Amino acid sequence: MAIQKNVKIKNRRAKFEYEILSTYTAGIVLRGTEIKAIREGQASIAESFCEFSNNELFVINMTIQEYSHARNFTHNPKSERKLLLNRSELKKLEKEVKNTGLTIIPLLLFTNDKGLAKLDIALCRGKKEYDKRETIKDRDSKRRLDSIKKAFNN
């Protein structure tokens, strides 16, 4: 598999399942061959979430597959990985999570211009069932409008 220059791995379910309140960009502490696997696009953040431990933020359940050309020094695909944020951002996020019961969800895993892996995380509130139904209705009506506009223009 060819190494991609810019990797963008999205969490597609996040906007459907959660109401996004604020977003942050965090660095990730990676070991060994993890960055090479990410550059190959062998990562998933679909079921992942973030959690505080000893005043540090960790991403849990993020899957980075083993690098295909690695021999001896491979990594655990589901291990928790530390996120790098400013201390003030960490304190603010921890306060919000503890006091109001919000959740921190990864939205996008990408590589920047320097080739470093970054993670866009969001402070989220879970949607209720009726909110999800509204989202589905809005998406369907937008899809119908787009098809009508396309038919009208042709």
Give 65-88 pLDDT, tens digit per residue.
888 777 776 777 788 899 999 999
Architecture (CATH level 2) of domain 8-127: Beta Barrel (2.40)
Query: What tokens appear for 9 in the block?
Result: 């791995």
pLDDT tens digits along 93-112: 999 998 888 999 999 999 98
Cα 152 from Cα 148, distance rounded (Å): 6
Domain assignments of the chain as residue spans, ordered by start: 8-127
* pTM of structure: 0.79
pLDDT tens digits along 4-29: 567 888 988 888 888 899 999 999 99
Query: Where do we find the tokens 């090479």?
Result: 36
* 8 A C-beta contact, residue 11 and residue 105: yes
Lowest mean pLDDT among 56-60, 62-66, 91-95, 121-125: 62-66
pLDDT of residue 105: 94
3 state SS of 51: strand
**Average pLDDT of 106-134?**
88
Q: Which residues contact 118 (CB under 8 A, 6 or more apart)?
A: 25, 26, 27, 28, 109, 110, 111, 112
Query: What tokens appear for 41 in the block?
Result: 């696009």
Q: Which amino acid is at 39?
A: R
